Structure 1
Amino acid sequence: MSVDAVKKALSRMRALFKQMARREIRSIVNQDSEVDDELRAMMASLQRVE
């Protein structure tokens, strides 16, 4: 794969992950307005893992 093809594939994978994460979080919170807060908390906890 070319560098541009890899960049495009990674971009698509990130978008798919974001969509899937939002869908899963939406299924476990009480209100749609809580999705962004939960997603931020999840990303913050993943950044702390070493």
Structure 2
Amino acid sequence: MVSRSPRPTCTRHRVEVDGGPVQYWCPNGHGLTAADLDNEFHPAPALQEAGA
């Protein structure tokens, strides 16, 4: 099954990071932990308006 979740991105450079699920690596050479990333689900605006 293919994940439909967006790939985690570096909070500083806004590029996709490698690794996971606990430690990620930015292509610019620094590490990020999962706690540094915003992994919370944010429903699309249309879903929020529909009350889903």
Task: Please say whether Structure 1 and Structure 2 have the same fold, judged by a TM-score greater than 0.5.
Answer: no
Greater strand content: 2
Q: TM-score, normalised by structure 2?
A: 0.28
